[in-house]
Amino acid sequence: MKKPIILTVDDEIEVCNAIERDLRSQYGKNYKIIKTYSGHEAMDVVRQLKKRDDQIALFLTDQRMPEMEGTEFLEQAIKIFPNARKVLLTAYADTSAAIDAINKLGLDHYLLKPWDPPEEKLYPIVTDLLNDWQANHRPPFEGIRVVGIQWDQATYQVKDFLTRNNIPYQWLDLENNNEAKRLIQVSGDPKPDLPYLFFPDGSSLKKPANIEIAERVGLQTIATKPLYDLVIVGAGPAGLAAAVYGASEGLKTLVIEQQAPGGQAGMSSRIENYLGFPAGLSGSELTHRAVTQARRFGVEILTAQKAVGLKSDGPSKTIQLQDGSELISRSVLIASGVSYRKLEARGLDKLTGAGIYYGAAMGEGESVKDKDVVIVGGANSAGQAAMYFSRYAKNVTMLVRGESISSTMSQYLIDQIAATPNIRILSRAEIVEALGTTRLDCLKIIHKDTHKEETISACALFIFIGAVPHTNWLGEQIARDDHDFILSGTDLRPEHNFKSRNTSRREPFMLETSMPGVFVAGDARHGSVKRVASAVGEGSMAVMFIHRYLGTV
Ligand SMILES: Cc1cc2nc3c(=O)[nH]c(=O)nc-3n(C[C@H](O)[C@H](O)[C@H](O)COP(=O)(O)OP(=O)(O)OC[C@H]3O[C@@H](n4cnc5c(N)ncnc54)[C@H](O)[C@@H]3O)c2cc1C
């Protein structure tokens, strides 16, 4: 816990040293005493302290200083630390300035120089003021502070990245939070690019890319070895399971993840059908456990790094990353999963990120408090999101294209939704238009049976429709089906040339793609089941076939 600060200002060196000495001997155990010799120097210190989220409990400033008078300094300083107590050190002739300051600045006290003996003239006053400050003070949040605008896309992406990587942060909305305004003021940047991230050491980042944040908070972004036995693309359930099995069986294993470990499962508020967790568990808890387990076995996980290319040079595979670097591995597992298909309707593109989101934004519960939320989709992911947001929102409306959710959703979720009074299901309904200027306000929908249109209020829309595999970074050597899902094992056909690329002319192993030594597991695979347990199962199985492959080269 950082100590709160008492800041003194006096241009006379001897007086400044004396007041500092007296304050330190009495309060040094619980407070940090900082002395400065002018109002300008003190203001620089005040701005730095604000950026580091230090707390000033008390200003004690001389009134008569040539460059900036004490009252002028206090007037500026309390804009940044409005709750600090204010004491002016005056000569007898400054009494009227002090009285003015009481009325104008809410000065708490003025002391006449000299203050000897301090036990009588200084400490009783300062102790009273510090006690008062402590009584009204809430300890600061000691982590990253994110200043941005609630419905801004870049702000949303940064918050999502931090949430999904389990990095605690304090959210400060510039439009209605005074502390956010003060932070932007001390940054000296009148029109900053948002979001602005302030770190506890006083440094900051403006509208950062994920990789900048990852580097800044100490997540691994660079590989440490020249050669790996197994490189896995994607840290969803399939990738993490393969990482645990691979590393525990002695393979030098590295995982590349473009966003945050956990994949789609990490966005799930409650997975209730995963073996061994009768009460269910959240996606972030499952991820946290899996990542801890993988790291315990020595797996390297690169975060905020994206694989953009894959080449095979006989037994060695090269994986190209978006930052231009390359990794070399003896085998590769593609576990890059899927993401949601785009919904087409007027106004959706413009407001995506400004109230419209693909998948569930699990950090956004508070932001929809007592408002209306709409969810599109009828599968389990949509049902889970509806249950999650029903805890915060006034009403949750689920728009389903089909007759009902019974054929697309698990029964346990159907039962939970039926028992939740603030969720309603509109079946055979579709979005026609999203309306709003800077952010989503409402949605125009059409009831397909009656062809009637209706406008419903919506502060947020979460879309969960169909899946598109993350495979467009792969070249033609990795054979795919018509929907871009990766073919493997017995699904490969002669025209995919597996045998001609493979010196031993063997048949492909199960889960092996058309490029020998490159395997696939989880949702990105053609024919996959699209469940956490099956992704985990395939990731674990793939390691066995990777061992067999490595035995052939
Ligand atoms: C909201 C929600 C709730 C769900 N609930 C359940 C449930 O209750 N029960 C259940 O069984 N299933 C559930 N599912 C489905 C389940 O989560 C998926 O089937 C499972 O996550 C698939 O795992 P995966 O590892 O194959 O892929 P994903 O989980 O999709 O992970 C793939 C990872 O690869 C990364 N990636 C992609 N391309 C690249 C690249 N080029 N470079 C680096 N990284 C890359 C992605 O960022 C992602 O993290 C849910 C899905 C969602 C979205």
As to burial, measured by CB atoms within 10 angstroms (0-12 exposed, 13-18 middle, 19+ buried), residue 460 is buried
Residues of the chain with pLDDT > 90, as a percent, come to 72
d(CA 87, CA 94): 13
Ligand 1 pocket residue status of 270, Cβ below 6 Å:
no
Q: Whose CA is nearest to atom 8 of ligand 1?
A: 271
Confidence of residue 350 (pLDDT cuts 50, 70, 90): confident
Q: What is the pLDDT of residue 363?
A: 65
Compute, in angstroms, the gap from residue 171 CA to the centroid of ligand 1: 27
Is residue 312 pLDDT above 90, yes or no? yes
Q: What is the pLDDT of residue 361?
A: 62
Neighbouring C-alpha atoms within 13 Å toward the C-beta of 510? 11
d(CA 91, CA 112): 6
Q: Whose CA is nearest to atom 17 of ligand 1?
A: 265
Element (H, E) at 427: strand 423-427
For residues 221 and 208, is the Cβ–Cβ distance under 8 A? no
Instruction: Quote the radius of gyration of the chain (alpha carbons, Å).
Output: 30
d(CA 333, CA 542): 8
- Tokens of residue 519, six digits: 């395997």
d(CA 194, CA 202): 17
Confidence of residue 126 (pLDDT cuts 50, 70, 90): very high
Confidence of residue 380 (pLDDT cuts 50, 70, 90): confident
d(CA 489, CA 408): 29
Phi, psi of 525 (to 5 degrees): -85, 140
- Tokens of residue 282, six digits: 């959240």
Which one is predicted more confidently, 336 or 168?
336
Question: Helix 411-418 and helix 380-390: axis angle, to 10°?
Answer: 30
**Best residue among 245, 336, 357 to mutate for probing ligand 1, ranked by most atoms within 8 Å of CB:** 336
d(CA 382, CA 365): 15
Is residue 227 pLDDT above 70, yes or no? yes
Ligand 1 pocket residue status of 257, Cβ below 6 Å:
yes
d(CA 491, CA 164): 35
Helix (H, G, I), strand (E, B) or coil at 14: helix
pLDDT digits (tens, 9 = 90+) for 470-506: 999 999 999 999 999 999 999 999 999 898 888 778 9
d(CA 420, CA 400): 17
Q: Whose CA is nearest to atom 53 of ligand 1?
A: 264
d(CA 428, CA 463): 16
Residues of the chain with pLDDT > 70, as a percent, come to 99
β-pair partners for 9: 36, 61
For residues 488 and 513, is the Cβ–Cβ distance under 8 A? yes
Confidence of residue 360 (pLDDT cuts 50, 70, 90): low
d(CA 264, CA 534): 13
Which one is predicted more confidently, 100 or 445?
445
Per-position DSSP letters for 64-109, written without gaps between them? --SSS-HHHHHHHHHHHSTTSEEEEEE-GGGHHHHHHHHHHH---E
Neighbouring C-alpha atoms within 13 Å toward the C-beta of 254? 23
d(CA 118, CA 123): 6
Ligand 1 pocket residue status of 155, Cβ below 6 Å:
no
Confidence of residue 7 (pLDDT cuts 50, 70, 90): very high
Average pLDDT value for the chain = 92
pLDDT digits (tens, 9 = 90+) for 14-61: 999 999 999 999 999 999 999 999 999 999 999 999 988 899 999 999
- Tokens of residue 194, six digits: 């948002």
The predicted model scores a pTM of 0.79
Residues 6+ apart with CB under 8 A from 482: none
Whole-angstrom CA distances from 301 to 21, 231, 233, 352 are: 51, 10, 10, 30
Whole-angstrom CA distances from 394 to 127, 440, 456 are: 47, 16, 13
Compute, in angstroms, the gap from residue 372 CA to the centroid of ligand 1: 27
**Best residue among 532, 534, 536, 538 to mutate for probing ligand 1, ranked by most atoms within 8 Å of CB:** 532
Q: What is the pLDDT of residue 362?
A: 63
Q: Whose CA is nearest to atom 38 of ligand 1?
A: 336
